[in-house]
A and B are shown apart, each in its own frame.
Chain A
Amino acid sequence: GENVEQHPSTLSVQEGDSAVIKCTYSDSASNYFPWYKQELGKGPQLIIDIRSNVGEKKDQRIAVTLNKTAKHFSLHITETQPEDSAVYFCAASPLSGGYNKLIFGAGTRLAVHP
């Protein structure tokens, strides 16, 4: 089955710096790669996703890149702000019809210091 590894487990940056979180996956059949943000005491929330037919996707200060050959994808956050502090999870899924079984990475705790 699919296995997703995520690095680093913790990341500390100064406000305004960039943050990069990396994930690798094992199943070449996976074709959908979402990123979720989890704030303290809340459920995860989707922030960006990418499908395997796209190499890069941007949404304001966040971007995701995908390298299918190497089976890795990354989350890039530019101009970080204190409100970006949270736990971030990557996931991979072989889309099957309309629903998807997500396999999550272990998470990265990002701390943005003012």
Chain B
Amino acid sequence: NAGVTQTPKFQVLKTGQSMTLQCAQDMNHNSMYWYRQDPGMGLRLIYYSASEGTTDKGEVPNGYNVSRLNKREFSLRLESAAPSQTSVYFCASSDGTARTHEQYFGPGTRLTVT
């Protein structure tokens, strides 16, 4: 049981390049989330998927797109990277039922845009 996995761990992009961050969970969770973490700002929600087949914007969606590929996988795409998107990105998942609301986080992807 690996929990939440993210690839890659590190990435350097040039301004204008595109890339996709991958996330997968093996806990049969319904809900998945993408956050970014910047110094002094905590974690901010970019997009989330309450259940397979649905996605919604979070606090800071501009410049990003997401795909809920299936119940296990939730990807985050940067179409044209900008230096302001330099950050650590975390994927998380949760059961998605009223039974528990704990979110389980992956180890993060450290992205630098030059």
Is A97 touching B98 in the complex (CB atoms < 8 A)? yes
Is B43 touching A98 in the complex (CB atoms < 8 A)? no
Among B73-106, those with CB < 8 Å from A are: 90, 92, 94-99, 101-103, 105-106
Please indicate the chain B residues that have their CB under 8 angstroms from the CB of A34 in the complex: 101-103
Measured in the bound complex, the distance between the Cα atoms of B45 and A95 in whole Å is 15
Given contacts A43-B105, A46-B102, A98-B98, A105 and B42 within 8 Å (CB-CB): yes
Is A98 touching B40 in the complex (CB atoms < 8 A)? no
Nearest residue (CB) in B for A104 is: B42
Measured in the bound complex, the distance between the Cα atoms of B77 and A68 in whole Å is 39
| B41 proximal to A (CB < 8 A) | yes
Q: 5 tightest A-B contacts by CB?
A: A43-B105, A104-B42, A99-B31, A98-B97, A104-B43
